Amino acid sequence: MWTKETLQSLIKEKMSDYLFIVVSNREPYIHTYEGEETKCIFPASGMVTALDPVMKSCGGVWVAHGSGSADRETVDEKGHVRVPPEDPRYTLRRVWLSKEEENKYYYGFSNEGLWPLCHIAYTRPVFRREDWEAYVAVNQKFADAVLEEIGGRKAFVFIQDYHLALISRMIKEKNPNCITAQFWHIPWPNREAFRVCPWQDDILHGMLGNDLLGFHIQYHCNNFLDTVDRGIEAKVDYERFQVMRGGKTTLVKAFPISVDYSDIAEQCGRPAIEAETKRLIKEYDLRGQIVGFGADRIDYTKGIPDRLRAIDIFFEKNPQYQGKVSFVQIGALSRIHIPQYKEINDEITRMAVDINYKYATGHWKPVHVAKGHFGRLTLEAMYKLSRFCVVSSLHDGMNLVSKEFVAARTDGDGVLILSRFTGASRELTDAVAVNPYAADDFADAVKTAIEMPPEERQKRMARMRETVARNNIYRWAAKIISELLKFEFKEI
């Protein structure tokens, strides 16, 4: 069983003379102004949720875009700030982007291009040459910041996600001796889908600068190998899951990401959770109710309208539950400058209003939608007080909300309704599996979850808790680091 401590000793024993650098677009701590005061927030991001505990254990430097309004005020002249602010454990190096760079590289190429390209959610990707040019330039900016941090030291560089597909190659051009790994947090589509990207060759060439490439599940690895095999000049070794291109080998492997199970379990035992539970019950009028819960970034891949549709059908088909079941959806606003994100946000509000208009009586409201950025305490209290949690992504690399719900259920109760199209559904086989597109079946699954006998709920939850406890975030990091240690570091 991997724990924070065993990961720390692996790092101490094997990596002490290496600098460990994580690089991502999103920063783990964002400083913003709230009136005169500065506030530090932890963003709603699966990647940050997963990597922050690892960095707290390893130390090192995290290079990321400084996106908060007060970020510049809180760093030194090198763009450094020690984080977490209340108990500093590692260094955050902020990279500054202009509004135009952010619009074209982040909102444009990354999120209107690559994000819909990699998710099968029937949203058409948009590719603009100017966005691509900004993407290349910003990748170079991140690569330069990483090179500056490395200086002349031995380094492992751990690159996160689709925003930075080109940087391993850029880093190695200047410093061929550092070891780089990249984890792709979203699905990799099949080659038919990927080939519509006008810069597919450049992206594949960039990614193959890495020594190691990680995806959540084997299926995404296979799709990647197939895309390379058919798309560019390279030798794909399906036995060893390697790609050889221009004398360089890249190992492609699945590492299912997870959460800090023991930390969540510990946090959920705090007395503050009880007080927060009481507050939430009062705020949403949940006394005596069977509560269902969903928490997501508001994104068209998360299937939030599909889940509301299922709740609507459930009440229509099962009027005996009207007045007895309440569904609470919390949603963190995300990428709101992109038209599809504005639309999905409005659609969710409209649907909630319609469902409530249809069924609400007296004090009872079937659906509560709360948008905004919620603290961890609120999320954990909601996980604990709910009878069932709904994760209905149309497509999701892994999905950490499902694993957080399981980790939070220290009482061993609760039912997870989980989309078959998440990476998590491969591990959490005791969830009630749904196809979010099949609205009637989905509504039946809500009924199944509500009517599941307590012994059955506990049996399923116990098995899921065992899985998440074992396959925790420290195991994920340890597997990647152990793989990285196999690559020989050549002295400059």
In the complex, which residues of this chain contact ligand GDG (CB under 6 A)? 42, 44-47, 49-50, 185-186, 257, 295-297, 330, 332, 373-374, 376, 379, 396-401, 404
CB 301 within 8 A of CB 394: yes
Q: In this structure, what token pair is assigned to residue 252? A: 């492609």
| Cβ-proximal residues to 463 (8 Å cutoff; 6+ apart), any chain | 430
Q: Based on CB atoms, which residue is closest to ligand GDG, 90 or 476?
A: 476
In whole angstroms, how close is the CB of 417 to ligand GDG at the nearest point? 14
Q: Based on CB atoms, which residue is closest to ligand GDG, 137 or 272?
A: 272
Q: Based on CB atoms, which residue is closest to ligand GDG, 234 or 332?
A: 332
In whole angstroms, how close is the CB of 212 to ligand GDG at the nearest point? 16
**Distance in angstroms (rounded) separating the CA atoms of residues 278 and 207:** 49
Q: Based on CB atoms, which residue is closest to ligand GDG, 147 or 401?
A: 401
Q: Based on CB atoms, which residue is closest to ligand GDG, 297 or 457?
A: 297
In whole angstroms, how close is the CB of 376 to ligand GDG at the nearest point? 5
In whole angstroms, how close is the CB of 44 to ligand GDG at the nearest point? 3
Alpha carbon 257 to its chain centroid, in Å, reads: 9
Q: Based on CB atoms, which residue is closest to ligand GDG, 47 or 390?
A: 47
Q: Based on CB atoms, which residue is closest to ligand GDG, 351 or 473?
A: 473
**Distance in angstroms (rounded) separating the CA atoms of residues 339 and 346:** 11
**Distance in angstroms (rounded) separating the CA atoms of residues 230 and 244:** 14
In whole angstroms, how close is the CB of 124 to ligand GDG at the nearest point? 19
Q: Based on CB atoms, which residue is closest to ligand GDG, 46 or 414?
A: 46
In whole angstroms, how close is the CB of 393 to ligand GDG at the nearest point? 8
In whole angstroms, how close is the CB of 414 to ligand GDG at the nearest point? 16
CA Rg value for the chain? 23
In the bound complex, which residue of the shown chain has the CB atom lying closest to ligand GDG? 46
**Distance in angstroms (rounded) separating the CA atoms of residues 220 and 395:** 12
**Distance in angstroms (rounded) separating the CA atoms of residues 185 and 183:** 6
Q: In this structure, what token pair is assigned to residue 170? A: 């850029």
| Cβ-proximal residues to 475 (8 Å cutoff; 6+ apart), any chain | 1, 2, 258
CB 147 within 8 A of CB 171: yes
Q: How many CB atoms lie under 10 A from the CB of residue 430?
A: 21
Q: Based on CB atoms, which residue is closest to ligand GDG, 128 or 373?
A: 373
Angle, alpha carbons 277-279-280 (nearest 5°): 65
**Distance in angstroms (rounded) separating the CA atoms of residues 175 and 98:** 27
For 73, counting Cβ atoms within 10 Å of its Cβ (0-12 exposed, 13-18 middle, 19+ buried), the class is exposed
Q: Could you tell me the sign of the dihedral formed by the alpha carbons of 373, 302, 340, 444, in that order?
A: negative
- The kind and range of the H/E element at 248 are strand 248-254
Q: Based on CB atoms, which residue is closest to ligand GDG, 170 or 379?
A: 379
**Distance in angstroms (rounded) separating the CA atoms of residues 301 and 123:** 9
Q: Could you tell me the sign of the dihedral formed by the alpha carbons of 42, 45, 46, 48, in that order?
A: negative
Q: Based on CB atoms, which residue is closest to ligand GDG, 257 or 308?
A: 257
In whole angstroms, how close is the CB of 397 to ligand GDG at the nearest point? 3
In 260-393, at which residue ranges do the beta strands (DSSP E only) sit? 290-297, 325-332, 367-371, 388-391
Q: Around 261, how many Cα atoms within 13 Å sit in the side-chain half-sphere?
A: 22
**Distance in angstroms (rounded) separating the CA atoms of residues 127 and 133:** 11
In whole angstroms, how close is the CB of 144 to ligand GDG at the nearest point? 26
